[in-house]
Amino acid sequence: MFQIELVCDFRESFPSKFVDCVEVFNDHPKKDSVLEILDAINEIGYPCNIFGGVPELLKASQNNNRYEDKIFINLSDGLNQSYSRVQVPMLCEILKVKYSGSPPFVAALMNNKHYSKLALNDLNVLIPAGLLINKHTQLKTELFNRLKFPIIVKPNTEGSSLGITLKSVCDTIEEAHLQIENLLAEFEEILIEEYIAGYDVTNLVIGNKDDIKLNEVIVIQTHQGLINYREVFGIYEKANKLSTRLIGEEVFSSEQITKIQLTSEKIAAHIGARDICRIDYRVTNSGDIYFLEINSVPRISTSSEVGFICSKRNISFKDVLQYYIESVLSRF
């Protein structure tokens, strides 16, 4: 039996983000959440330890350590650099160890909202019209003429709703210019795209092609109504838990849920996601499914979507971890 090593960089080691000078958010996994996973995996029957995070992997690679009898379970978003979610899979490749989750190139693609959308061109998946902006882009009026307002302006390679507030939704070119300028002061790449009115939907998928073990559709209600007309699920809303989760069938027909699930399985297989991913959509009132982004390291805890699914489906947290570990082990 393989020894399982949890790779994690704890929330407590990082500074929080601030919105309007108010401390609101730090989305790295909490130490307590990782300890919860550790205990559950040991109870299932797999020997499990906490290995450490990116610094420990770096040290191991510098020392040319070998871990033939271990499997590394990646729970880390990496450190605070751009494309930080690539760090753990890259270091695991350098160490030549068995590890969970997507490989470096796929993780990098999933970390880039714009290029992950381009990668889906052959799948006939709906995506919002958009443009990629950086500090060298000349913001000419003609650029914006390609888009229908309102538009949303957000960081291209950040997850966890970073950089997204109610000000992100812009009705005019002037508003967009101001928001782009503000974000470029902090982020390297900015994505501007048409704002799609509809339901906020997230789909957690555990498993690999032809062996999907969990595929659950969740609707996120952030404001009073289920349908968002210009609302956002931003960093402030996420940090302060200003949302309600609904299991898919509380909102959609079984046919619509199946359509979302099959879309997610198709996207995950096409991009090359392994073991686990979470895909975010906007679903219009008429049932159109717009792909927004895909997360290579969705949070696993009893307070995340995983815990919500457990409560709704009457399954245990250990059951979900078992699905995840079985998916990883099936590749070795």
Instruction: Provide the pLDDT for residue 241.
Output: 74
Domain range for 141: 130-194
122 occurs within a structural domain: no
Q: How many domains does the chain contain in total?
A: 3
CA distances from 277 to 43, 58, 169 (A): 24, 25, 27
Measured at the CA of 130, the angle between CA 162 and CA 113, to 5 degrees, comes to 45
| Residue 295 domain flag | yes
Q: With bands split at pLDDT 50, 70 and 90, how would you rate the model's confidence at 239?
A: low
pLDDT at 317 over 60: yes
State the Cα–Cα distance between residues 203 and 42, nearest whole angstrom: 28
Q: Count the residues in the chain.
A: 332
Q: Which residue, chain included where needed, has tokens 């950089």?
A: 163
Q: Would you state the pLDDT for residue 142?
A: 85
- CATH value at residue 174: 3.30.1490.20
Helix pair angle (305-313, 317-329), 10° resolution: 110
Alpha helices in 149-275 (DSSP H): 173-184, 235-239, 254-271
Residues 71-111 pLDDT 10s: 999 999 998 888 889 999 999 999 999 999 999 999 999 99
pLDDT band at 25 (very low <50, low <70, confident <90, very high): low
Q: Is residue 158 over pLDDT 60? A: yes
The answer to whether the bond into 298 is cis (omega within 30° of 0) is no
Domain check: are 187 and 200 in the same one? no
Average pLDDT in the 119-144 region? 92
As a whole number, the mean pLDDT across the chain is 92
> Which residue did the predictor score with more confidence, 141 or 48?
48
> Per-residue confidence at 20, pLDDT binned at 50, 70, 90?
low
Instruction: Note whether residue 121 is domain-resident.
Output: no
pLDDT (0 to 100) of residue 235 = 66
Based on the domain organization, do 186 and 224 belong to the same domain? no
Please state, in angstroms and rounded to a whole number, the distance separating the CA atoms of residues 60 and 91: 9
CA atoms within 13 A on the CB side of 63: 9
